[in-house]
Structures are given as C-alpha cells and as structure tokens.
Structure 1
Amino acid sequence: MAVKVQIVFHSLYTHVYQLAEAVAEGAKEVAGAEVRLAQVQETLSQEILEKMGAVEAKKSFAHIPIADPQDLADADAILLGAPTRYGAACAQMQAFLDATGGMWVKGALVGKVGSAFTSTASQHGGQETTLVHMHTFFYHQGMVVSGVPYAAQELLNLEEISGGTPYGASTIAGPRGERTPTANELAIARFQGKHVAQLAAKLSA
C-alpha cells in the first residue's frame, strides 16, 4: 500500500524550501511513497515582500501549490517546515495550523506521523524551540511525533557549523539570508524525509 507524505512549508528566501525539497527526496526513497509538496498562503503584502527583498526568491518556488488544510486528512505523514519567529513558527504557518480546527474536532489526524524542520538567522536562533512549537500541533491532533534519530551521522558532524537537531532538520540562513543550506544540513533533511516515510509505512501496514 502506498504511503502518502505531505510536506507543507513556508519560505521567504528559499532556505526552508530547499530543506523541503531535500525532505521530499528522502521520502521518495521509500518504495511506494506518494510525496506532495505544498506551501502555506503568504500573508505579507507584495509591498512588504519587496522591502524585504523576498520577491525574487519566492519566484523560485512559485510553482508549488498553496496548501489546503483539509488535504492533511488524506496524508499518512505530515512534515511542516517554517522559519523561526522569536523561537516559534512564523505567523503564516500558524495561520495555516489554526485553520485545522475542524479536523481536530473530527480526530481526522489521529495516528498520523508528524515531523518538522526549520531555519534560523543565527546558529542559536531558536531552532529547537521552533521545532518543539510545531510538535505541539501534532500532539494536540493526536499524531505520532518523529524527529531525526542519531542514526543520521550528520548530526554528529563537528567539522563545520551546521544546523540539524534530533527534533528535526534545520539550516542557518544568516542575518541577511546570505547563507544557503549546506550538504550536511540537506543530508539530515533527506534522512528525516526517509525516516518519517518509513515510520508511516509501518503504521499503515
């Protein structure tokens, strides 16, 4: 039976989008996995996006469809990706999650696998608190929460500055978004995608 994996993300400067693509690559390594990528609705105006210098960056993933909260009920695994805002998920992602109240009432997401990934400007910019913040959504929906086990050897890489936590994949964007995800960070994201898809397949069997 095919396992359905949905990856829902918000990205301004492509950092989270690049992680999402890597997560998708990992999930697709699992036989029979159906992987769907979607981005949450942007809430910032075009004027603000232009002032932030994010317009051109967002064009690179404009082809990714807008996520519909109701589609989550069709997934076996849900991975959420969002940049941090003061140690929690950005408002755009929070707005998306707030629209799932109907599914909470129905218990539509109970038993599904949930996992998260993130991006911060600095090395210690709230990566783990942001991931745990997104985990609370999974707990309230009755989902099975997965992080990244230390079987991912890239988590133990001390040869370079790198994102990546046992709570989920992450990257460091830099204060002006000038740093791009490294090979080490993308490897952790791919591991996460594959690991979550495998868990979902076992639970769906």
Structure 2
Amino acid sequence: MSARVLVTYYSATGSVHHLAEAVVEGAESVGAEVRLRRVAELAPEKAIASNPEWAKHRVDTADVPVATLDDLEWADGYAFGTPTRYGAPAAQLKQFIDSASSLWHEGKLADKPVTAFVSSAEQHGGQEATILSLNNVFYHWGAVIVPLGYADESVYAAGGNPYGTSWPAGFPSSPPDEITLNCARFQGVRLARFAALLAPARAEAAAQG
C-alpha cells in the first residue's frame, strides 16, 4: 500500500523550507504519495519587508500550496517543520494546527504517525524544546510520534538529535548543509514506512466500526 504523507511547514527565510523538501524526497523514495504544503503567513507586511531574505523567500515559494484541513484528513502520516520561537513553534504553524480541532474531535487525526523538524539561528536555540512542544499537540491528537532516534548513521552525522532533524542556520540565515538534508531525507523515509504500516490497520478498524 502506498502511504499518503503530508509535509507541512512554516519558513521565513528558507531553512525550514529546504528541510521540508528533503523530507519529501525521503518519503517519495520509498513510494509514498506526498503533499508539500506551507502554512499561511500571519506577519504584517512591514515586518516582512524589513528583512530582504524574508521578502524574497515569500516570493520564491509563492507556488507552494497553502495547507488546508482537507490535506490533514487526506494524509496517512504527517511531518511538521518550523523555526523555533522561544523554544516553541512559530505562530503561523500553531495557528494552522489550532484550526484542526474539528478533525481532532471526529478522531480523524488519531493513530497516524507524525514527526517534526526545526531550525533556529543558534545551535542551542530551543530546537529540542520546540519539537517537544509540538509533541504535546500530537499526544492530544492520539497520533503516533515517530522520532529519529539513532536509527541511522545520518542522525549522528547531522549532530545527533534523536528528536528530529535540526539546523542551526545562523544569522543571517544559511541553508542546511547536505549532511543535515540527508538526515531530513531519512526522517521522511522513516515516517513513510510507519505510515504504510499503520494505514491498513486504521482502515480495518474503521471498517469494523
């Protein structure tokens, strides 16, 4: 069975966008059908215009569809990406997640595998805390959290974060290196494999009522 994977992210200057694309590559490499979606921008125009990288990235990724609740319902597994904001996900991503309460209430988010990836300016800028913060949402959903663990050498090579792929982008922001992108690809592979395993079991449970 081909798993359906949704990779949803928020990125201001591009680092998380590059990680998201690598997660997509990994999931597709093992046969998953993947949707790449960005969440809606909430920041005021003045703030975006004040940072040329931010303004440029918004133009460069204008063709990436904006995530909808239909995408969440469609998918068998989820990957969420965000920059860190004081050890928590960006408001843009959190707003989209908060809008999914109707699907949560109907049980349509339960029993699906989910994983997260992050970027921050500094190496210790709250990357693990951000992933753990997102995990609190997934506990409420009843989702199955899929961390990186130390299940592949790419995790060690990228700095050894077992929670999820993380990139210290610096300031001004720099794109992830190939080592980190390889780790993100593995994260996509791992998610897709769990999605393929769990989807038939969910379908069977639904059929039994």
Distance 2:178 2:159 in 1: 11
Tell me the residue number matched to 2:204: none
Tell me the residue number matched to 2:58: 58
User: Would the alpha carbon gap of residues 73 and 164 (structure 1) be closer, same or farther in structure 2, given more than 3 Å must change?
Assistant: farther
Distance 1:202 1:96 in 2: 27
Contact 2:10 2:92 in 1 (8 A): yes
User: Would the alpha carbon gap of residues 23 and 49 (structure 1) be closer, same or farther in structure 2, given more than 3 Å must change?
Assistant: same
Structure 1 residue 196 displacement after superposition: 0.4
**Amino acid in structure 2 at the alignment position of 1:16:** V
Tell me the residue number matched to 1:39: 38
Percent of residue pairs identical: 40
Contact 1:172 1:180 in 2 (8 A): no
Contact 1:163 1:172 in 2 (8 A): no
**Amino acid in structure 2 at the alignment position of 1:113:** P
What pairs up with 1:85-104 in 2 under 5 angstroms? Answer: 85-104=85-104
Aligned residues: 199
Post-superposition CA distance 1:116-162 (Å, at most 9, x none) = 001000010000000111111111101000011312212223xxxx5
| Secondary structure in structure 2 of the residue aligned to 1:198 | helix
Tell me the residue number matched to 1:29: 29
Structure 1 residue 113 displacement after superposition: 0.7
| Secondary structure in structure 2 of the residue aligned to 1:83 | strand
With normalisation by structure 2, the TM-score equals 0.91
Contact 1:164 1:170 in 2 (8 A): no
Which runs of no fewer than 5 residues in structure 1 stay unpaired?
none
Contact 1:118 1:169 in 2 (8 A): yes
User: Would the alpha carbon gap of residues 52 and 163 (structure 1) be closer, same or farther in structure 2, given more than 3 Å must change?
Assistant: farther
Q: Aligned pair 1:171/2:170, yes or no?
A: no
| Secondary structure in structure 2 of the residue aligned to 1:38 | strand
Tell me the residue number matched to 1:148: 148
Which runs of no fewer than 5 residues in structure 2 stay unpaired?
201-209
Aligned with 1:203 (options 198, 202, 208):
198
Q: Which runs of 4+ in 1 moved over 4 A?
A: none
Tell me the residue number matched to 1:75: 75
Distance 2:95 2:160 in 1: 25
Q: Aligned pair 1:185/2:180, yes or no?
A: yes
| Secondary structure in structure 1 of the residue aligned to 2:116 | strand
**Amino acid in structure 2 at the alignment position of 1:23:** V
With normalisation by structure 1, the TM-score equals 0.93
Contact 1:84 1:90 in 2 (8 A): yes
Tell me the residue number matched to 1:9: 9
Q: CA RMSD in A?
A: 1.2
User: Would the alpha carbon gap of residues 25 and 164 (structure 1) be closer, same or farther in structure 2, given more than 3 Å must change?
Assistant: farther
**Amino acid in structure 1 at the alignment position of 2:64:** I
| Secondary structure in structure 2 of the residue aligned to 1:189 | helix
